[in-house]
Structure 1
Amino acid sequence: MVGQAEAVTAGLLVIGDEILSGRTKDRNIGYIAEYLTALGIDLSEVRVVPDIEDEIVAALNALRSRYTYVFTTGGIGPTHDDITADAVAKAFGVTIDVDPRARAMLLERIPEADLNEARLRMARIPAGAALVPNPVSKAPGFWIGNVIVMAGVPTIMQAMLDEVAPKLTTGVRMLSQTVPAHAKEGDIGGPLKEVALAHPGVTIGSYPFMAEDGRPNTNLVVRSRDPDQLAAAVAAVEAMVAQVRAQLAASR
């Protein structure tokens, strides 16, 4: 565990033309965000890039220099456009070839007679990388430096994330509390800014929605790693909401 003042951060690189074209609807971003939050890791940035090696390399190098971890999804299958492993090897300046450990994993599921050139692509691993086991379909992901490369198929990605989670450095979990405003977002925007300025140790989000009765409403979500700062900010938000509602009632 790290100290409370420190944060463990992550970037996520989603790779695939099919995501950008809309042909495939991403189901991984939200899952990874919730999973990492529960571990005390802040998902700070998400990028989506096409199946173009230079684009993957540029995005990966930008993210890995900025965050504690970088997770990637997609592009480690058997087809010609699955180029993530090659791009990662290029980003790290290492060679890539069929890894005997990965090949052995594939043979747990695929008969050797069927282990053709296309399937062997899934055993090509950058030099120096650790393998990320895949209990679903055996083709592994890998971990090199601070970059963790996972499949794009949600069930496989989730299994890989479970495999690496115990090995991740984790931080202090972010605490949160929701305060219903029972008012329109525009009614509380000004006073809310004053509360936020008075409590720099917390973040406060404003989320408008339509209530079941058809009236506009707003939830205010207060977040902090410090329980005392969280409690103080929540109390201030609740007091502000009560004051705004009283003013609105008086003006009607």
Structure 2
Amino acid sequence: MSIGLIIIGDEILSGKRADQHFPKVVQLLAARGLQLAWAEVLGDDRERITATLRRTFATNDIVFSCGGIGATPDDHTRQAAAAALDRSLVLHPQAADNIRQRILQVAREAGQQADLNAPEHLQRLQMAEFPLGAELIPNPYNNVAGFAVDTHYFVPGFPVMAWPMIEWVLDTHHAHLFNREARAERAVLVYEAAESALTPLMVEIEATWPQVKVFSLPSVGDARTRRHIELGVKGAPEQVEAAFARLCAGLDAFGAEYTLSTPGPL
């Protein structure tokens, strides 16, 4: 079972806002011994969102979708999810009640009376319309819920809401997948070496230790650093140490200059 991330919003593709979800979701998963398998960024295009969700619903992937579940004309995610599943979009009673309670709370805090039948408040109830059979994802920020359907989890685009909601999903529904000791990583910085010359060693290591992946991240260098390659192995801890020892031995035989590197996120 793979984990995917969909980030929705024209503002991301246009550069008006910088995406914050990708690095945070990587961090949240890594803290639980999990890893993101893929990510996609989509604009506010209902047909494209629908086509993407139709494709991802056909897998058994765990998918987090951030953005587009509001009630303005540029929000299409709820409708697209329903269309992708060929299900009706229906008002979820508990989600609707949460929104009404939120409207009343805001009015009380402002010392005002709220007319729940006012057009602007009725429009907000659209945020409680989900594909038939959807379950709620609680929103600790303002109690306006997201929704879950078929291992797909739809949360708002606002990080202050989305991130605790994603954490709740992971800890509530997928704790059985957690394995904080399941992966290890070791790496070195190899200086002034051609990546192509090191490729045979990488191929050998992956062939010998099937639960290990080799990664190679070249850097052209700048005024402060020399040209180098971050070369390492990651995967099952019981194989990583042996693979790393072979990597270092191969570099020694090659006559390469290298130093240990601090591993990044898994």
TM-score range normalised by the length of the shorter chain: 0.7 to 0.9
Partner SS, residue 30 of structure 1: helix
Aligned-partner residue type, residue 180 of structure 1: L
**More divergent stretch after superposition (88-97 vs 130-139):** 88-97
Q: Are positions 1:241 and 2:251 aligned together?
A: yes
Structure 1 ranges of 4+ moved more than 6 A? none
1:137 positional shift: 2.1
- Contact 1:10/1:45 (8 A) holds in 2: yes
1:148 positional shift: 0.6
Partner SS, residue 69 of structure 2: coil
Q: Are positions 1:146 and 2:151 aligned together?
A: yes
1:246 positional shift: 5.1
- Contact 1:222/1:230 (8 A) holds in 2: yes
- Contact 1:178/1:220 (8 A) holds in 2: yes
Q: Report the Cα distance in structure 2 between the residues aligned to 1:241 and 1:211, rounded to whole angstroms.
A: 24
2:16 matched to which residue of 1? 23
Any residues of structure 2 matched to 1:111-126 within 5 Å, and which? 111=104, 112-113=114-115, 116-126=121-131
Q: Report the Cα distance in structure 2 between the residues aligned to 1:171 and 1:185, rounded to whole angstroms.
A: 38
Q: Report the Cα distance in structure 2 between the residues aligned to 1:162 and 1:28, rounded to whole angstroms.
A: 13
2:108 matched to which residue of 1? none
Partner SS, residue 162 of structure 1: helix
Match of 1:56 among 49, 52, 68: 49
2:241 matched to which residue of 1? 231
1:95 positional shift: 1.4
1:123 positional shift: 1.5
Q: Are positions 1:217 and 2:217 aligned together?
A: no
Evaluate the alpha carbon distance shift between residue 108 and residue 159 of structure 1 in structure 2; reply closer, same or farther with a 3 A threshold: farther
Question: Could you report, residue by residue, the CA deviation over 1:129-155 in whole angstroms, capped at 9, with x for unpaired residues?
Answer: 110000112211111111111111112
Partner SS, residue 38 of structure 2: strand
- Relative to the length of structure 2, the TM-score reads 0.81
1:65 positional shift: 2.3
Match of 2:6 among 5, 13, 17: 13
Partner SS, residue 82 of structure 1: coil
1:165 matched to which residue of 2? 170
Evaluate the alpha carbon distance shift between residue 11 and residue 246 of structure 1 in structure 2; reply closer, same or farther with a 3 A threshold: closer
Partner SS, residue 135 of structure 1: coil
1:185 positional shift: 4.8
1:26 positional shift: 0.9
Evaluate the alpha carbon distance shift between residue 182 and residue 247 of structure 1 in structure 2; reply closer, same or farther with a 3 A threshold: closer
Q: Report the Cα distance in structure 2 between the residues aligned to 1:19 and 1:219, rounded to whole angstroms.
A: 30
1:98 matched to which residue of 2? 91
Evaluate the alpha carbon distance shift between residue 36 and residue 153 of structure 1 in structure 2; reply closer, same or farther with a 3 A threshold: same
Q: Which runs of 5+ in 2 are unaligned?
A: 105-113, 259-266
- Contact 1:179/1:237 (8 A) holds in 2: no
1:4 matched to which residue of 2? none
Aligned-partner residue type, residue 140 of structure 1: A
- Contact 1:9/1:41 (8 A) holds in 2: no
- Contact 2:183/2:237 (8 A) holds in 1: no
Q: Which runs of 5+ in 1 are unaligned?
A: 1-7
- Contact 2:189/2:231 (8 A) holds in 1: yes
- Contact 1:12/1:47 (8 A) holds in 2: yes
Q: Report the Cα distance in structure 1 between the residues aligned to 2:164 and 2:178, rounded to whole angstroms.
A: 22
- Relative to the length of structure 1, the TM-score reads 0.85
Percent pairwise identity:
29
Partner SS, residue 251 of structure 2: helix
- Contact 1:13/1:60 (8 A) holds in 2: no
Partner SS, residue 179 of structure 1: strand
1:42 positional shift: 3.3
- Contact 1:205/1:220 (8 A) holds in 2: yes
